[in-house]
Structure formats: C-alpha cells, structure tokens
Chains A and B, each alone.
Chain A
Amino acid sequence: MTPVLNCLRRFLPAQLALWLLLLGLAQPASAFPIFARKYQTSCVTCHTVFPKLNAFGEAFRLLGYRLPKESEEQIKQKPVSLGSEAYKRVWPDAVWPSELPGNTPVAVNVKMASLYASAYDPTAGKTITHNDFQFPQEVNVFAAGTLGEHMSFMAELTHAENSDGSASTEIEHARLGFESILGPDNLVNVRVGKFAPNLYAGFQEMWLMTDNGVDPLFNYNPVGFKGGVGILDDAAGIVALPARVRGIEVYGIADHRFFYTFGLMNKIAPGANAPVSGSSALESTGLPNGNFNNNSHKDFYLRLDYKFGGMGLDGDTEGVQLPPENWRENSLRVGVFGLKGNGTGVDFLTSDPTGTMVDEAGSFHMQDTSYNRTGLFASWTWSDLNLFGTYLRGTDTLQLRSADNLTVLSENDRTFTAYFVQADYVLRAPLHLSARYEKLTPGDTSVQPLKFANFNVSYLIAANVKLMVEYRRDLAETRNNQIATIIRAAF
C-alpha cells in the first residue's frame, strides 16, 4: 500500500480522500511525433487535438501504425532492412525478414500544469485548497513504430512529479503487435504486453482530449459496504476497468466497418497476495508492488462495434465523400462490451458498515469473488461536433472475511451503474471545446451517487503544442473542484 493511500484511507473521509488523491494523478500522454517524422506529416493528420484521434488517426492506430494502403513512397524515413523481402520465400529455413525504423523512434511529451484544487474536509469542517505550479507534472518518453509488414511496437515511460512531493516512474505501455497474421488484411491482429486495451476504444484517457479521465468507469472501487469505497487511484489495485492491462489481445476489422476485440489480462492485485494473518498482511493485500503472479485468475473481455458512415475503421473511403477538414465526418459508431473477472484470494481492507475506515488491527477483509462489467458505447460525429458516451453496469459478489482466519462472514451481490456523456466541438481548427457529465449510482439507494462535470477549452498553439484550461467539479460536493491550466508539447 502506498503511504499516501494508506494515510488517506485511515484519516480522511472517503470523498475528501478520493478528491485529494486525484489531484496529483497524471493522465498519460499519447501523441507520437515519431510518426510525424517518419511520414513527414503534421500531428493534425491523425489528431483532432492530441491525443484525441480523428478517423484517419484511429485507422492508423488500428492498422498497427500504418497508413491505409500504405506504400513505400509514403514512408520518408527509409527503414533499415533486417532481411530481404525474398526471405519470406525461404522461411522457415531462414529468419522471417523484418525492418527497423530508419531513425531512433523516440519522442518526448512534456506536460506543465498550474493546478488550483479545492476539497472539503467534513471532519474538520473546512475546505483545503492547493495552488500548485506543477512544472513539469510529467514527462513521457515514447517509442513506437513498425517492424516490417506484420509487426509493431509501442512503449511509454512516464515520470511524474506528484502534488504530494512524491515522484514516480512507470512503464505505462510496452507492447508488441502482430498485424494481419491470418486471413484478409486487418482481420486478425494480436497484441501482447502492457497496453490500453481496445476494449476502451473511444473513451479511455488515451482517446480523450481532456486532461481528466472518466473516473466512474476507471477509478471506482465497489469493494466495501454499500457503495464501496468510491473513487480511488487505479494504481491502488481496485476492482474497476483497468486503464492499462498486462495481457494478450486479439482484434480486427472486417468489411471496413465491423470491429471486434477480445483479450485475457491480469487485473487486480498484481502485487503481494500473501496468506492473510494479522495486521502485517493488511499492508500488502490488494495492491501492486511490482510482482505479477499473485492473482492467478485472469479477466476476459470482449467488444463488438460497428461504424455507420464516415471513413471506414481501416481508413477505407470508397463511396464516401469526406470534407477536407479531417476531423469532420458524419458517422455513428456503436459498440457493446463486457468484462468478466475473479478476484478470489485478493484481500481488500474494508470499512465498517457506516463507511468509516477501520484501523488495521482486527479489521475485516473483502474479496470480490466474481465481477462483471457490461456496457454500451456510442460516438456520433456530425461535422464539427463529436458526441459520445458510455454506459456501464457492474455486478460484484463480495465476501466479507475475518482478518485472521479467512472465515467467510457474509457474501453479498452488489451492483452499480455508471455513465458519461461528452461533447467535443471544434470551434476553429486550433480551438476546441469539451463538456462532460459523469455519474455513478451504487445499487444501494441509501448511498449518494457520484456526479462530476468536466469542462475543457483547448487551443493548439502549434500542431504539437497545446494549451488547455480544464475545470472539474464534484457535483455531489461542490466544494470539491479544480481548475488546471496545462501546456503540453510533443516533440
């Protein structure tokens, strides 16, 4: 358990704790100037306002960082051959030929944030405010590219300096892709490693123009009495849709417009899972500590989408009239998704039935022995407007266990629903507006729903430098709010 989280859990009311915790959470960047260099093209070829992708950028991503119907002449940095093309005819008697990027495929994102945050502490009866220059808040080093015709890679190392004075370095992404390995082009692709799964295409932070992610989907922990312990950092090993997974994923596009993905992944408690016996064990349960083999259960996920109108998901434009403004199209993408997991054997600290966190000694544990997440996604683009959102329903089977002997004291099924709706609008090519409403409602009606509003104005100073002002408000406790002024540059 991180010292910060531990402290927050013990001494602060849950809602205040979660708000303070979120202040320093850095959202990963996802803009790859590597490809601007490789193709000698602008960032806005693929991004509406980075990291948000336009239809072409989404196709480029799904094709394993290749242009639709890519030809050799489009690649301005000639790759280094690791084997003549003709070696494909010699295989398996020789190594399958591949390529390396022509230049070192590394890029850097820097994010500077001036953050004003206000959080109400009901225990002390006062509001705590912060006004920080987080210069920088984080620096991301990316590597991404293709290794010949059927392989790709992406890695991201993020160093973040947090508002509490701590700093962290994390491998946020490190994955290999194997594209078009069976059947028609783009039908069967496989990714292995740590990555943001395509389960979230269109609504995870990697796809959003806002600085804040959608917390009810990615940071809500249902473990606990009634409505769970609320919004917490995903790094704490909570039972929520994981922002990034360690897993294996298969995905593909059929007939230009049908998209599927399914995968198998590690989920909760990639950290210690020692037998629970006494207070010391409580320090090391349900949390990551760098080990990956403690919850041997794997989560399974599936998503199916179809896109009506606009550019095909593989960049196909046959029979489609598209305007020169590359963020514009008239399209509707809809999808259904689901995730099924098993957290048996992973112990979480839990509060007492009043919601107060109990001290470690003699406290209870909870295990989420079965959790399901099902949802709908829709994204409607009409000229300069992109309206999109996700509805999620979660069910959890929670076992309350004694601290020392793992006796199951009770078992309950809990449910919650969460959704968000976001409208992004391109006012001018460099000026973008965004508004989002998020809500999470626990099944237990005695628990107050979580509601947030998020507003963003982004201005592209240059294609690779953006300035944004973002306001986020906790609608359930309006004294919790924050305003961030952020400059991000990718080079």
Chain B
Amino acid sequence: MTKTILLTATLLAVGATAQAGDIHGKVACKGVRDSAYAVVYVAAVPGKTFAAPKEHAKMDQKNLVFSPHVLPVLVGTTVDYLNSDAVLHNVFSPDACCDKFNLGTWPQGQIRSYTFGKECAATLLCKVHPEMEGFVVAVPTPYYAVTKPDGSFTIPNVPDGSYTVKVWHPKLKATQKTVAVAGATQAAFEIAK
C-alpha cells in the first residue's frame, strides 16, 4: 500500500514537471569569434503579466570590463552598477529605450542604479574608458537565457505551450521563431550580420 502511494506520487510529480519544461538548444552565431552573448527569450506568455522582481540585478565594473558582459532582466528590474575598480567609472547609454540615461561618475565600492521600465536592449558605455561596453536586455517575460561560447542555452521552467522565442545579439541581426514547448524542448537558431 505504501509502495503504491509512493509510485502514484512520483508519477504525479513527473507529470507536473513535464507541464513546465525547458527550452534548450544552440544558437549558431555566424561571423563572430564564438556564439556567446546571445540572449534567447520567450517574447510573451498569453494572458500573463509578470511583476518586476524586488531584488536588484547586478552588473559589476571590474578590471575595466562590464561583468557580466550581457545581462538579461525582466522589464521593471532595477540594475545596480557597482564600481569594483580603483579608478572612477561612469555608466551611460546612447539608447532611447532607456532614456539615454547617464548615471554620472562614482568611485570604487559605490553603486548607482537604473530601472529598466520597458523593453530595451541597452548598450552601456563608460565615458572614462571608451573601450568598455556592456549590455542590459530588458525582456517581457522571466523566461530567458544567455548563450555560452558554444552557443548552448537553457531556459528553465517554461510552461507548456506555443511561444514566439526571440534571439538578440550585440553584433548580429535578431531573429525569432515559434517554439512549441512540451516538456524538455529543443530549439536551434542561426544568426548573422
């Protein structure tokens, strides 16, 4: 009797997982050194809206580099910019979708923040160090991932259903396709200039 109950519970749990699977696969980025830094995300889930998280996302400026280089966030998220270097840093964006914000200049250990209120692929620059470049990609759902250098990605806990999945890259043309999610689902993309 006990064994039957355990088996039934296990089957129910497996069934529940299958209803919220994941999207995994690869993005092949043509014309760049590797396939890292593509953001893959579900464009919308019909009938659902997502509240912005209370917890802030973080982007560091360390060794004259934005880290992470590409940071996807849910629309409404506030991003904290920490300066970990012993030199002054600045963060600004030339993009209208984030009101071309400029957070000024601040020293080591301090943080300045900006809230991304709408969808945006924001380029982040530092006026003090023109070679620095980072990206915050504000997307409308919490289902997103950033590709590894081999192009692989996994978006976990996506409800079963049919979705438009978009791919954005800092240097390559964006693309999209419809993906029918049913448990663990594979999707492959190719993007180029």
Contacts and interface: CB of A to CB of B under 8 A. Distances in A.
Interface string B145-182: 00000000000000000000000000100000000000
Contacts of A81: 131, 133
A71 interface: yes
Interface string A73-84: 100001011111
Interface stretch (A89-97, A336-344, A438-446): A89-97
A95 B127 CA distance: 10
B48 interface: no
A388 B56 CA distance: 69
A78 B125 CA distance: 20
Contacts of B33: 72-73, 78
Contacts of B31: 71-73
Given A94-B130, A95-B130, A97-B130, A86 B123 contact: yes
Interface residues of B, number: 14
Mostly, the B contact residues are loop
A83 B171 CA distance: 15
Given A71-B193, A89-B94, A83 B32 contact: no
Interface string A82-121: 1111110110001101000000000000000000000000
Contact of A83 (B30, B94, B131): B131
Contacts of A95: 130
A84 B125 contact: yes
A73 B32 contact: yes
Contacts of A90: 94, 125
B165 to A, nearest CB: 25
Contacts of A71: 30-32, 193
B97 interface: no
B130 A82 contact: yes
A86 B193 CA distance: 16
B103 interface: no
Interface in B86-133: 94, 123, 125, 127, 130-133
Contacts of A89: 94, 123
Nearest to B133: A84
Given A81-B131, A94-B130, A86 B125 contact: yes
A81 B171 CA distance: 15
Contacts of B125: 84, 86-87, 90
B32 A84 contact: no
A85 B94 contact: no
Contacts of B131: 80-84
B96 to A, nearest CB: 10
Interface string B12-40: 00000000000000000011110000000
B193 A83 contact: no
For A78, A81, A89, A90, the residue with the greatest tally of chain B CB atoms inside 10 Å of its CB is A90
A336 B127 CA distance: 50
A84 B193 contact: no
Contacts of A72: 31-33, 171
Nearest to A83: B130
A83 B133 CA distance: 9
A97 B129 CA distance: 12
B32 A85 contact: no
Contacts of B94: 86, 89-90
A72 B133 CA distance: 17
A71 B34 CA distance: 12
B37 to A, nearest CB: 12
A94 B131 CA distance: 12
A80 B132 CA distance: 11
A368 to B, nearest CB: 51
Interface in B129-147: 130-133
Contacts of B132: 84
Nearest to B131: A81
Given A71-B32, A72-B31, A90-B125, A85 B130 contact: no
Contacts of A85: 133, 171
A86 B133 contact: yes
A72 B169 CA distance: 14
B147 to A, nearest CB: 15
A95 B193 CA distance: 25
B189 to A, nearest CB: 18
Interface in A314-361: none
Nearest to A82: B131
A38 to B, nearest CB: 14
Contacts of B133: 81, 84-86
Contacts of B123: 84, 86, 89
A81 B66 CA distance: 14
Contacts of B32: 71-73
A87 B94 CA distance: 8
Interface centre among B30, B125, B130, B131 (most CB of A within 10 A): B130
A91 to B, nearest CB: 10
A263 to B, nearest CB: 33
Interface centre among A81, A82, A95 (most CB of B within 10 A): A81
A95 B131 CA distance: 11
A97 B127 CA distance: 12
A78 B32 CA distance: 11
Given A71-B32, A72-B33, A73-B32, A87 B193 contact: no
Nearest to A87: B130
Interface in A19-75: 71-73
4 closest residue pairs by CB, A with B: A84-B133, A71-B31, A83-B130, A81-B131
Given A82-B130, A90-B94, A90-B125, 7 more contacts: A72-B171, A81-B133, A83-B131, A84-B125, A86-B94, A86-B123, A87-B130
Interface of A: 71-73, 78, 80-87, 89-90, 94-95, 97
12 contacts: A71-B31, A73-B31, A73-B33, A83-B130, A84-B125, A84-B132, A85-B171, A86-B123, A86-B125, A94-B130, A95-B130, A97-B130
